[in-house]
Amino acid sequence: MVDAWYNDTLWVKALAPLSYLYRLLASLRRNWLTKRSAWKSPVPLIVVGNISVGGTGKSPLVIGIVQHLKELGLSPGVVSRGYGANSHQYPVEVTMTSSSAEVGDEPLMIYKRTGVPVVVDPDRVRAVKELIGHHECDVVVSDDGLQHYALGRAIEIVVIDGARGLGNGLCLPAGPLREPASRLEEVDLVLINGEHKVPRLGNATNSSLMQLKPVRLVDMTTGDGKPVDSLGGKTVHAVVGISHPERFFNTLKSLGIAFIPHKFPDHHAFTIDDVNFDDNIPVVMTEKDAVKLDLPGLPEGLYWYLEVEACFDLEKIDGLLTKAGIEKIKRTTGG
């Protein structure tokens, strides 16, 4: 179905009437929640999300924004739905001993990369209350949650995959969109991940480019890093469980790394059997997938993940922070 959405396949357009119904119901739900029951956080909240189904590079952007907020002297925290998580109770705070099965792969990755408090709960209002009730955060970043309209927000940032764009431009189930493309005109910033090749995205004044830059290869058994080109000219097992694996494969190609592809579903619960090939060929994964694996006793230098960072226009982010009064918070607290 996903391939049909992004390849503009004709048969899915037979579902267009259901798309219009979905779009109407989504609009009614949004209006009801925002006008009647949206909860406003006592600290500014930045939502980083998307309007389409599937990965767009949102979590690396969350990490980049959080790190920038820390550099500005602010004390950010993160809330997340925790897709794939199966905790016995919510809200749950991520710790160094948390498992991806309990809190989700993306929240665990964000916590390990940033060190800021991260709270997981399908009810994001409850997650924010838990976060600010136990930590002195002066700004909260929501990993996803654009459509969680029960939660008020100061800034909305949308990430779009530049290669795939908005697919056929239709809402579910005939297309990949959770909301119509016109929603992009209402958010504060649209970041297009990768080269912008899709005319359907237009040239909105609130849009900017973003790139995911490979930073280093990290040994999953020791945590030691080495240059991203150190496997150039070699063949590896590329093991991936994300919604758009071609992005990862294309990155490996750009680094001159030949690979044997191994695709798994998004949020796949990896086991050692999934990555044990008994051929002494290095295994390379995404960081999001790597947090789901515990590999004690395995040889060093065989299992790696590719660490990436989001590169984006910090001046645009700073402008949004100032507009939302978040820079003022930093100044009044002496940051």
pLDDT interval class at 202 (50, 70, 90): very low
Percent of the chain's residues with pLDDT above 90 = 71
The owner of tokens 């090939």 is: 277
The residue extents of the domains of the chain are 2-210+313-332, 213-310
Rounded CA gap, 19 and 170, in Å?
7
Contact 53, 178 (CB under 8 A): yes
pLDDT interval class at 34 (50, 70, 90): confident
pLDDT at 329: 61
pTM for the full model? Answer: 0.93
Residue 314 has pLDDT above 80, yes or no: yes
pLDDT interval class at 1 (50, 70, 90): confident
User: Phi and psi (nearest 5°) for 113?
Assistant: -80, -35
CATH topology for 2-210+313-332? Rossmann fold (3.40.50)
Contact 206, 189 (CB under 8 A): yes
- Tens digits of residue pLDDT in 298-311: 788 999 999 999 99
Rounded CA gap, 333 and 335, in Å?
6
